[in-house]
Structure 1
Amino acid sequence: MNTADGSGKNNMSLRERVGAGQNLAEAGLKHESRAEQYEVVGPKDAVFAVAGEDVILLCSVKPNISVVDMTVEWFRSDLKDSQLVHLFEDRVDKNTNQIQSYRGRTKLNHQELQRGNASLKLSSVRVSDEGLYKCFIQSESWSDDATVNVTVEGKRFSSWRTSVILISVAAVLSVIPGILRGVFARKNREQYDVVGPTDPVFAVAGEDVILPCSVKPSTSVVDMKVEWFRSDLKDSQVHLYEDHVDKYTDQSQSYRGRTKLNHQELQSGDASLKLSSVRVSDEGLYKCFIQYKSWFDDATVNVKVEAVGRPPVITVDGFDHSGGLHLQCESEGWYPKPDLEWLNSEGVSLSSETTETHRNTDGFRVKHTITVHHRDDKIHCRVKLRHHVLETQIITTSKC
């Protein structure tokens, strides 16, 4: 058993010991597993994958417990040095030492980690992916692992096998129509992707916004699970649709009564979320997660919130020794920080002498000053944030 100071049977690392022919029990890790009553489990039978398609390598902790704060490591135990396939540690994916052939093809569902599900999605399967995989999970005082045996079938064989099935489909349908349709339905769904916008979605505080999310090619998601959550915050469920109904039990308090899925649009694969009465605190990263049995995928939506502040106010703040007129312009309630500029009657920008920016619960407050020596002119103070512009003017006159 490994101790907190790193002492144990020897100084070899976990992968070195596995690579040297020891299993994890011999490496001194199973004892802690039994002590905490938890167990990492994988599939009993081999997982069959088809080259060019995606596959899910099942792995979870039983009884269910969140593994978000644990280390989850997937590696090939049948290769030299037990090479890294995917690493999740300190709440983020760390794939610096990942095998080159797996780059960009592995994915853990971070939301599912909260339920103890550490299954790995492997995309665009290759024949070289066939082999033994270890799903290793470790907390500060506990660790365990499970082995997943992956067998890969080449495309040519897969096509031949599919042809044979299609030839026999009429006979099979008369015996087990429900099962066969289920197989084909699952097969088809595994060719779909969940997609969201490539650019950030801009929302205005106090207004409504639509967070786009859909399945491509279009297919009904009425029978699937659709979950929206904040990937940049802990325990932040935004909306859950499951078993044909919306479920709000675990929804974050700040989103209560402000989210809506269009159930009619779900039939065409559109799982976009309507968020009402947008708040500045709504800014962040959102995940649109869709799942049907063993298939799942997600898309990220980056929401940027803008709050339009109050119209700028120009005040006269006296004169300098040469008769110059001191002007001050101030505006508040903006988010994020806006740009403030002075302009003369011809629209030429004037340089501010002093600038101040403060942030409070209402947003940003900006204040700029300028001294005007030329009279009988219109001076404009303009505050802008992207396409939002508010402007005020003052007319200066010569002394009588």
Structure 2
Amino acid sequence: MKDLLIHLILSSLIPTVFGHKVFGQLSEDVVLPCSFTPNSNDVIHWQRPGSAGQSDEILVHSYYHGKDQLEKQDVKYRNRTSLFHSELPKGNASLELRHLRLGDEGVYNCYAGTEYNIELKIISFSLSYRRGSTSRLECAAWGVRPLPSITWSDASGFINETNRTEVETDGLMSVISELNISDSNQVQCLIHNSVPNLKWQGNWAMTDPLHKVEGNEAILPCDFPYSLNFRNVRAAWSVAGKRLALFDNMTDILEDPRVSRCPVKNRQTDFPIILNNLTISDSGDYLCNISSHNYMQLRVTSLTVDETRDKMTNQIRHRWALLFSTLVVFIACVGIGVGIYCYRHRGRNENNQPSDPMEMAQLNS
């Protein structure tokens, strides 16, 4: 608490960086960027201005004495914030805010030697991809007024939605449009709200599948259309719900030690990654989500990792050896069975032979 009070007293002397704006999707996660010069006694505070009539700031997250200090954290942010501890020695004090709510929108202040003012805007539109027995896309608008129009299209023209759900809460409308996808490799969702005249576009595409051998590397492609405004673009890679990497204009966060960012000419529009030391369990659908305030792009790449040829050869040899051993055991069992049968049959014949010479003579006559 002492560190916090001293920091607040000196905050007026700290240089301030203004104007960085971050866009986050409702119900999704977002990273608020902040950089600083690291030292042996790092003090980091994330706060928000108090509401009208309140002079105290709202504590979002604190870190000092080498660990998170969340005793005074505002209850609205409990279990929803975290720093990237492995990035702190690199001067990265970015804050992850999970499960975004409409009330999260506003200005956030990062105090870490330099004060950063970050404006978070909540985007109430989203495009999500679900894969199961039937692959499905969901295009949604949350908490809007009036009810927006949602249209689907692909290369051949407009597509009729599969299902639609509309809900009204406190005078605001939420609508989810669902589309089952089968033959299309690229689909577009367009949301239009007439008041104000607002358009939001979501694109989904399935890229060419990749086939790799375990132990090698795979380059997973993902790029942003150059024709669109790419300011404040955010990219996130995930597989089976597990996040692999986060990129924006200021920060690269890699959450898997085998993942690296592929060198590109334009880091603001291209977000391919390299997955090293592939294993069989790496097979799956890899999702790249690129988003800005009025656009979202989902790219799905299906990766199949096969066993190495030597391993396959050894497995084939093992199977043949097992088959041969089974065959030898079977033949041996059959031979033993035949031997036992012959032995018993011969014994019965010998028992049926007369032992008296007179009887044998009568039989022979």
| TM score, norm. by length of structure 2 | 0.39
Structure with the bigger RCO (C-alpha within 8 Å, sep 6+) is 2
Structure (1/2) with the larger helix percentage: 2
| TM score, norm. by length of structure 1 | 0.36
